[in-house]
Structure 1
Amino acid sequence: MLAGMSRWEELTGGTSGEEYAARFAALAESGKDLHGEARFCAALVPPGARVLDAGCGTGRVMIRLAELGYDCVGVDLDDSMLAVARKNAPELTWLQADLAEFDPAALGIPADFDLVVAAGNIFPLLAPGTEPDAARRVAAALKPGGLLVAGFGLDRAHLPVPPSITLAEYDAYCAAAGLTLVDRFATWDAEPYDGGGYAVSVHRA
């Protein structure tokens, strides 16, 4: 890795896939709606669009988008999470890679995505110092006019680790990667951003 272990690896040891999946399965059984991220993405691009789930984890968001008719690829560094994703949806494309070193050509896929989604606190959980590289790498995978959608916590109440990235820093990383901010929301239900501790940002290539 470019700057050592990611915050996610430090938090979980890279072995939490089954535990993570079980937690969301319990939430689903309790009646909680787990498809806000997929609905948000589906409102931005039509079915059939190519979607990269950057930091796909166990595949919760991507599997739902595939069910809605999207052409999806998932990438994650945590093999335990990918093992769950591959078990749940073996017909979909799941790739192991560090987002800060993500190279579609090296992985055998075209860099022509209509949308990249980074849900689940992806940017705050990267290895320290690699955030600009990750933004640049995923931006380079977008078609001209494609969208990067990222939702992440900004304070301790919304993160499993101490806050490590501000919105101003994230916007600067995206700008350096050639992206322009087009919208920002407080939730995946598209509530207006109010300066709170969680934000969903939409940038365009």
Structure 2
Amino acid sequence: MSAPTDPGGEQQEHGANLLTEHPALYEARFPDPERLAGRWAEDCLRRHAAGHRVLDIGCGTGRDAAHLSRAGREVIGADLSEAMLDHAREHHPGPTYTRADLRGFDLGRRVCDAVVCLDSALLYCHTNSQLDGFLASCRAALTPGGLLVCEMRNGAYFLGRTDLLDTPTVNTWTYDGSSYRSTTTLTVDRAAQLLRRTRIWETGDGSAPLRQHSAWRLLFPQEIGHLLAAHGFDVLALYDGPGPRTEPAWREGDVPGVASGTADGDRLHLVARLR
């Protein structure tokens, strides 16, 4: 069974992004009632003795940032979508929320002990220069010895595997009395090293379908290690599972992977330390 499709990052052919402009719908489509992503991130921070100041970059609706805040951390939640940030401030209080682009951000005089980047948000850095911008921004924001914790799709999974590609996946659900249907197709753009997604949204109110496009950068374990080393990070852990979006999913007490762990699954989990 494959992991759930990642939320966010879509570009609609006409108009605004359906999910990022409707955060409550986003949470209904991608529920996380057990806060697995936030709990997994907090477990990584505890295991590697991170300080209490945390930046959640690409925080979306703020569910995970709020969980880290409730765990006793001083949290900044950052996202590019004002609608997401407004929702986070109202529904997931605790963190300080601010608008920022993960491809290049500046916290000013604020520094943090850890940067958390979940739900494949890192992979919206499509080019090498955007990845450099993200890592340079993380380095500037972190104290020496600070942690970078990421969870994302695994580019290596698509080396010779096609089970997630080319065949439409249909999901249906009901929210606020309305029915929704999404049809998602994934394809690989090898030249750009991107996993492209086309998603068609349909509602039960007779509205015309909406077609949205997005893409994730396909990053490979060796490539990730090289990029991190170039920006002054040492990899502490890089592994496929268990994690919040794997099958079976991560649970409290699970022993995390190590730097030499496997990368066969469709998710990748990273913990790195700034030298």
Q: TM-score range by the shorter chain?
A: 0.7 to 0.9
Which amino acid in 1 is paired with 2:43?
Answer: R
Asked whether 1:195 is paired with 2:263, we answer: yes
Which amino acid in 2 is paired with 1:104?
Answer: L
**1:3 match:** none
Unaligned runs of 5+ in 1: 1-6
Deviation at 1:103, TM superposition (A): 0.8
Which amino acid in 2 is paired with 1:140?
Answer: A
Asked whether 1:137 is paired with 2:158, we answer: no
Give the one of 29, 33, 36 matched to 2:40. Answer: 36
Task: Give the RMSD, CA atoms, in angstroms.
Answer: 2.7
Quote the Cα distance in structure 2 between the aligned partners of 1:151 and 1:33: 12
Give the match's secondary structure for 2:232. coil
**% same residue:** 27
Q: Select the structure that is richer in strand.
A: 2
Q: 1:133 to 1:175 in 2, by over 3 A?
A: same
User: Cα deviation per residue 1:77-103 (whole Å; 9 max; x = unaligned)?
Assistant: 122221221112344200101122201
User: Cα deviation per residue 1:107-134 (whole Å; 9 max; x = unaligned)?
Assistant: xx512x1111111101112354411211
Contact preservation (8 Å) 2:119, 2:152: yes
Deviation at 1:24, TM superposition (A): 4.2
* Mean Cα deviation higher: 193-202 or 65-74: 193-202
Quote the Cα distance in structure 1 between the aligned partners of 2:263 and 2:94: 40
Asked whether 1:204 is paired with 2:273, we answer: yes
TM-score, normalised via structure 2 length:
0.61
Q: Select the structure that is richer in helix.
A: 1
TM-score, normalised via structure 1 length:
0.79
Paired residues in the alignment total 191
Q: Which has the larger radius of gyration?
A: 2
Quote the Cα distance in structure 2 between the aligned partners of 1:72 and 1:54: 10
Give the one of 168, 184, 190 matched to 2:238. Answer: 184
Q: Which residues of 2 match residues 135-174 of structure 1 at below 5 A?
A: 135-155=135-155, 157=164, 161=215, 163-174=217-228
Which amino acid in 2 is paired with 1:43?
Answer: R
Q: 1:69 to 1:16 in 2, by over 3 A?
A: same
Unaligned runs of 5+ in 2: 1-7, 159-163, 165-185, 187-194, 198-214, 244-249
